[in-house]
Structure 1
Amino acid sequence: MFRSPPTTLPISRFSVALRAAQVAAAVFALPCIALAQTAPAPDATSQPDTHAEAPLAASMPSNAFDARQKALDQRSAQNDYTYGVAVHQCYDTFFVNTCLGRARDKMRDVKAQIRSEQLSLDDERRAARAQQRDEQEALRRVQDESEAPQRAAADERNAQAYEEKQRQHALDAAKRNAEAPQRAQNQAAYDQKQADFQRKLDQAHAQAAQDAKERAERAQRFGQKQVDAAQHKADVEARQKQAAQKAQEKQQEQLQQQEQQKQLRQEQQDSE
C-alpha cells in the first residue's frame, strides 16, 4: 500500500518537540486523572442551565464552589493530556493531518464546554457573593433599626450632657467675670504685700550691712586701742626704766661726790 507524502512540515523535529510537551503535560496531569475519571464526563453537546442553577448557587457554600472549581481544573488538565496523547497517536496513522484536526476539534469542544461551565460557575459565585452581601446588608439594616431607639436615646443623652456642659461653662464664665473685680483687688493687695515684704527685706539687708560695717569699724578701733595701749605701756616702761637708770646714775654720782669729799677732807686732815 502506497503512502502519500505528508503535506505538513517534516515530522522529525516537530514530533520530538511535541513528545517533550506531551511528557510534560502527562507529568502535570497524572495526579488529576484519577479524580477526573471518577466523575462522569458531561455531554459535549449539552449546555448548562445557568438560570436553573442560580437559585441553588445563591445558597451554595463556598466549599461547594471550590469543589466544582477543582473539578473544572482537573477536567481542563485531563483535556490537555488527552489531546497530547491523541496528537502523539495521530503520527502513527496514515492521515495525520485529519487525525490532528479531529483531535484538535475535540479538544476545543471540551475546552469550550469547560469554559462555558467556568463562566456559569463564576456567575453563580458572583450571585452567591452578591446575595451574601445583600443578606449581610439586610442584617445590618435590621440590626441598625433594632438599635435605632438605643442610639436615639444615647444621642439624646449626649446632647443633653453637651448642653449641660455648655450651661455650666457659661455659668463658670459669668462667675469668673463677676469675681474679676474682687480678684483684681486681691491681686493688688497681694502685690502691695509682696512689695512691702520686699522693701522690708531690702531694709533688713541694708541694716545688716550697716551693722556689719559698724562692727568692723568697732573691731578696728578696738584693735587700734589695743595697739595704742601696748605702745603706751611700752613707752611707760621705757620711761620708768630710763628714770630708774638716771636715778641710779645720779645716786652713783652722789656716792662719787661723797667719796671725793671724804677724800678731800682726809687729805686736808693729813695736810694739817
Structure 2
Amino acid sequence: MGTAAAMLAQARKSIGMSGRPNTITREYAGRHGDEFLRASWCDMAVTYWARHSGNAGAVLLAGDRAYTVWHAEDFQKAGRWHSGTTAEVNRAKPGDIVFFDWGTSDSLGAIDHVGVVEKALGGGRVQTIEGNTSDKCLRRVRGAGTIAGYGRPAYSDEEDDMPLSSDDLKKIRDIVWNTDTAPAPAGAAKDNPTWRHVNLMRDTYSAVREVQAAVAKLAQQSPDVDAAEVARLVLAGLTPESIAAAIPDEHAEHVATALGKRLTSGG
C-alpha cells in the first residue's frame, strides 16, 4: 500500500487541470471505453491519483471507479465509511475520500461528487482537492451540510479507528500500570538512585511505545471507535508532570542528562 501523503502529492499535481478530455479522462477511457472521455471526471480523478501514487489497493476497494455512489458503497461494505455529521467531519484525516450530496440528504444513493481531504479545518469543514469542480481540478472548502460522508483508505501509514473490548483495555492498562508483575528495570541498583530513576523513565517510554503498537494492531478490527482517543484516555494520567513529580529534585538534573544519553544510544 501507498501513503496518504503520496495520494495528496499526486492530487496536487492535477490542480489547475481543466476541460475534457484531459489526461485523467483519457487514461480512464483507455481502460474502459471512449464514453468516458467527456464524462464527469471527479471520481476518475480519485482513481487516477490512487493508481499513480501506489494507493490503488487502499482507495479502489473494488477496482477503478467513475461512479461516486458505487465508490462510497465500496467503503461502506468494507466497514471504512464515516458519516457526514459535524463531529465525524471534524475527525477526517488527510487522504480520506470525501463524498458530497448537494441535496443534503446524506444518502449514499444521492451522492453527486467526490474529492480527497487535504486537511480538516474544524467547525465541520474540510479543505479538499477535487476534480471536475467547475470542470477543473481545484482546492475547495466544504462543510458538513453537503458532505454525505467519507471513506478511510487503508493507507500503510494510517492510524485507524477501532473498537476495544474490556480485555483489550485491560491489556493496554496492564502494559502501563501493572508494576507488580512487570520485570524489574534493567540495571536498577538500589545504591544508584540516578540510574534507578533513569530506568523507570526509560521503561515508561518503552511502555508508551508498546501501547502505541497495541493500539495499531487492534486498529484493524473496525472503524467505529477512535483509536487515538482511546490511547489518550488510557494514558491520561501518564503526563510529563506526573513522571517528573516522582523523581526527587536532587536527582532530576542527573536523571534528565542520563536518560537522554540512554535513549540516544539505545542503552
Give the TM bin, normalised by the shorter chain.
Answer: under 0.3
Higher-strand-fraction structure: 2
Give TM-score scaled by structure 1 length: 0.26
TM-score (norm 2): 0.26
More helix by share: 1
